[in-house]
Structure 1
Amino acid sequence: MRPHPFAALAVCLTLAVPAFAEDKPTKKPDNVRVVCAANSKDGSRVVQGTDLIIEPGEKVKDAVAVEGNIILRKGAEVEDAVAIRGRVILEPGARVKGDAVSIGGEVRVHKGAHVDGDAVALGGRLQADAADGVKGDKLSLSFEIGGKDVVRGFIEDALDEDMRCHIIDEDEKES
């Protein structure tokens, strides 16, 4: 049985809380945008600052997007999909064999798409067009006051606005 994603989420949120104790961060210029992407040897893909699109027929181990969306086209398959400050969108015919998680965004499972594990949207909505689209648990945590999502605001405040892309390849470090 797969470990439950809530333990990992609790650790992430606990580590993010010290960000509130810092002084007001310096804001980067509006015309600067960090865009990074990496493919790992095990077949995982990671992007920051842009969308990650898994095309029809592609099989990817894990898909991670920070400040971007994950879009799975018809016939695309991933083990797990995690978007931070972005959405996870499964078009009809797409499949996530594990969990689909969005922190500060939404999870959208169109009719004909499948999530074999859990579908979790923290600070956003979970929308599954078909009852059998998600086999595992369905969790959507969103709390709005005056039209503003408090959970999403908390997540955005916890994540530093000046996030930088740091990709460390353990294999390259050893050689």
Structure 2
Amino acid sequence: MRRPLLPTLLLACSLALPALAAEPAKTPKPAKRICVNVKDGSRSVQGTDLVIEPGEKVKDAVAVDGDVIVKKGAVVDNDVVAIRGRVILEAGARVKGDAVSMGGEVRVPTGARVDGNATALGGKLKLDKPEDVGGERVNFSLEFNGEDLVKKFISKALDEDQKCHILDDEDDSDDKDV
């Protein structure tokens, strides 16, 4: 029985909540770049792309405000999630779980494989061959006057003023709010 997608989405959402300064900034700040390598072999980033290189094997891959790129010969044991980014598989890449993009697209070319579901919310699902996805193929986008309302909703939900708490699994005494 496959593990549910909820833990992966919770990890992604915890990275998606941006930190706020005490006073409102008058000029936009550059995007924060956070990379978390979890002990169980999962990887996640914020504000940059996550590239799973050939020969690498990771448990879950999550990017917030960036793309997840799974190269030829790379394997993701569970799920790949991109929030406000794309999931891009190269031919020869494999995702044993689900491939999900919220606010972007999911690309599965010929020769790539997603054993679970491929889902694009507020973006496009681009499959060369539908049989390269073992589960359901879901593409949900709603445009009004040329604007994608699903993508706008996702961005607005993630841009809300919230606080993020990052935990370091090795030493909980150094936990800090960012």
Higher alpha-carbon deviation: 156-165 or 46-55: 156-165
- Pair 1:39–1:105, CA change in 2 (3 A): same
Runs of 5+ unmatched residues, structure 1: 14-25
Count of residue pairs the alignment pairs up: 164
Number of the residue aligned with 2:47: 49
Pairwise CA distance, 1:162: 6.4
Q: Distance in 1 between matches of 2:79 and 2:133?
A: 13
Q: Distance in 1 between matches of 2:3 and 2:116?
A: 11
- Matched letter for residue 44 of structure 1: S
Matched, 1:98 2:87: no
Q: Distance in 2 between matches of 1:162 and 1:124?
A: 24
Preserved CA contact (<8 Å) 1:38 1:167? no
Q: TM-score, normalised by structure 2?
A: 0.80
Q: Distance in 1 between matches of 2:79 and 2:43?
A: 11
Preserved CA contact (<8 Å) 2:5 2:79? no
Q: Distance in 1 between matches of 2:163 and 2:87?
A: 22
Percent identity of paired positions between Structure 1 and Structure 2:
57
What SS does the corresponding residue of 1:170 show, helix, strand or coil? coil
Number of the residue aligned with 1:87: 86
Pairwise CA distance, 1:2: 2.8
Q: TM-score, normalised by structure 1?
A: 0.82
Once the two structures are superposed, residues 138-164 of structure 1 have per-residue CA deviations (whole angstroms, 9 ceiling, x without a partner) of: 111101112211110111111116677
Number of the residue aligned with 1:108: 107
Once the two structures are superposed, residues 27-75 of structure 1 have per-residue CA deviations (whole angstroms, 9 ceiling, x without a partner) of: 6733422111011111111100000000111001100000000000100
- Pair 1:89–1:148, CA change in 2 (3 A): same
Once the two structures are superposed, residues 97-141 of structure 1 have per-residue CA deviations (whole angstroms, 9 ceiling, x without a partner) of: 000011111111011000000111111111111121100011111
Q: Distance in 2 between matches of 1:47 and 1:28?
A: 26
Preserved CA contact (<8 Å) 1:88 1:100? yes
What SS does the corresponding residue of 2:151 show, helix, strand or coil? helix
Number of the residue aligned with 1:152: 151
What SS does the corresponding residue of 1:157 show, helix, strand or coil? helix
Pairwise CA distance, 1:170: 3.5
Which structure would you say has the larger RCO, counting Cα contacts within 8 Å and 6 or more residues apart? 2
Runs of 5+ unmatched residues, structure 2: 14-23
Q: Distance in 2 between matches of 1:160 and 1:84?
A: 12
Pairwise CA distance, 1:172: 2.1
RMSD, aligned CA: 3.0
Q: Distance in 1 between matches of 2:127 and 2:91?
A: 11
Number of the residue aligned with 1:36: 34
What SS does the corresponding residue of 2:88 show, helix, strand or coil? strand
Matches within 5 A, 1:1-175: 1-2=1-2, 5=5, 26=24, 29-78=27-76, 79-160=78-159, 166-173=165-172
What SS does the corresponding residue of 1:159 show, helix, strand or coil? helix
Preserved CA contact (<8 Å) 1:28 1:162? no
- Pair 1:165–1:109, CA change in 2 (3 A): farther
Q: Distance in 1 between matches of 2:93 and 2:26?
A: 37
